[in-house]
Amino acid sequence: METKRIVFVGVGGQGNLLATRLLGEACLSAGIPAVVSEIHGMAQRGGIVESALVMGAMSPIVSKGEADILIGFEPSETLRALNKCNKNTVVITNIRPLPPFTVTIGQGVYPDIDKALDLIKNNVGSLIVLDGNELAEKAGNPLSLNMVMLGALVGSKNIALDEDTLKETIGKSTKQDFLESNLKAFDLGVAASRVG
């Protein structure tokens, strides 16, 4: 099958590891060979969290320039991960900033979001933007940003997985209390990527 290399970037606590795992489990149930890589350890201390899912190959990580899809949970992190992209990469990004603490103590400047998005757009195949946090809140659960982003990935029709397979996986892995909001967040993500 065609190899598809998907990179997820976010900040500790945003839930991109769970999103990557769910995508991997959906691949298993759909019979698509997939392997996932995660970085643990610093995730709970506000650092950058990167994960990847590769369909149809053995290597669990994605080299510079080799992402077919980049999913950014935070816009400056999406920009930071631009070196994973090439001119054909599809980039899906949340646009809600989460400035790092270094900005507060004057050790750096948070980039202008519009300029950042332009930079990304001009260098990759296509760019899908959404306010993932707003959609997650609309779904009734601010924790469901990862479901919004998964929805946007599936809705963008760039992978060989359909909505139902993903929703079934989400259903199996979500606590009952959060199921409704998770599925709603997923749907809102799907819709947003279609509009975008």
Partner 1 sequence: MPGLGQGLRVFVAEQIIPTLSTGKNMHKLLTDSPGKEIFLLGNEAIARGAVEAGIAIATCYPGTPSSEIPDTFFAMYKEGGFYFEYSTNEKVALEVAAGAAISGVRSICTMKHVGMNVAADSLMTLAYLGVSAGMVIVNADDPSLFSSQNEQDNRYYARLSGLPMLEPTTAQEMKDMTVAAFGLSEQLKLPVILRTTTRLNHLRGVVRFGTIQPIKSKGFFKKDPFHYVAIPAVSRNLHKILVEKNDQALELSENSEYNQIIGKGKWGIVTNGVSMNYVQDAIGDLGIGDKVTILRLGFSYPMPKRKIGKFLTGVEKALVVEELEPVMENDIRSTAQSKGIGIPIDGKGDGLFPRLYEFDPGLVRKTIGSYFKVPDTSPKAVDVTGIPDLPGRPPNLCAGCPHRAMYYAIKKVYGPDAIYPSDIGCYTLGLLPPLSMADIVICMGASVGSSCGIAKATDQKVVSFIGDSTFFHAGIPALINAVHNNHRFTLAILDNGTTAMTGHQPNPGVDTAPMGVDTKQISIESVVRGCGVEHVQVVNPLQVKKSTEAAQASKEFDGISVIISQELCPLFARVVKKAKKIRPFYVNQDKCKQHRDCIDLLACPAMYIADGKAMIDEKLCIGCTVCAQVCPENAILPLKIED
- The two counts, helices (H) then strands (E), for the chain are 8, 6
- Among the listed ranges 136-144, 147-155, 156-164, 185-193, the one in contact with partner 1 (CB under 8 A) is 136-144
- Among the listed ranges 13-21, 152-160, 179-187, 188-196, the one in contact with partner 1 (CB under 8 A) is 13-21
CB of 6 to partner 1, least distance (A): 13
For position 1 contacting partner 1 by CB under 8 A, the verdict is no
Measured from the CB atom, is 80 or 196 closer to partner 1?
A: 80
Contact at 8 Å (CB) between 164 and 176?
Answer: no
Which two structure tokens, joined as six digits, stand for 91? Answer: 């980039």
DSSP string, 157-183: T-SS--HHHHHHHHHHHS-HHHHHHHH
Secondary element (H or E) of residue 46: none
Contact at 8 Å (CB) between 182 and 138?
Answer: no
Q: Return the residue of 143, 160, 179, 191 that touches partner 1, per CB under 8 A.
A: 143
Measured from the CB atom, is 133 or 156 closer to partner 1?
A: 133
3-state class percentages of the chain: helix first, strand second, coil last, to nearest 5: 50, 20, 35
The residues in 84-123 that bind partner 1, with binding defined as CB under 8 A, are 84-89, 96, 98-105, 107-111, 115, 119, 123
What is the x/- site pattern for partner 1, positions 45-84, by CB under 8 A? xxxx--------xxxxxxxxxx---------xx-xx-xxx
CB of 151 to partner 1, least distance (A): 17
Query: Of 68, 57, 66, 94, whose CA–CA distance to 79 is shortest?
Result: 94
Q: Return the residue of 142, 157, 162, 163 that touches partner 1, per CB under 8 A.
A: 142
Query: Of 69, 61, 67, whose CA–CA distance to 84 is shortest?
Result: 67
Q: Return the residue of 7, 16, 128, 133 that touches partner 1, per CB under 8 A.
A: 133
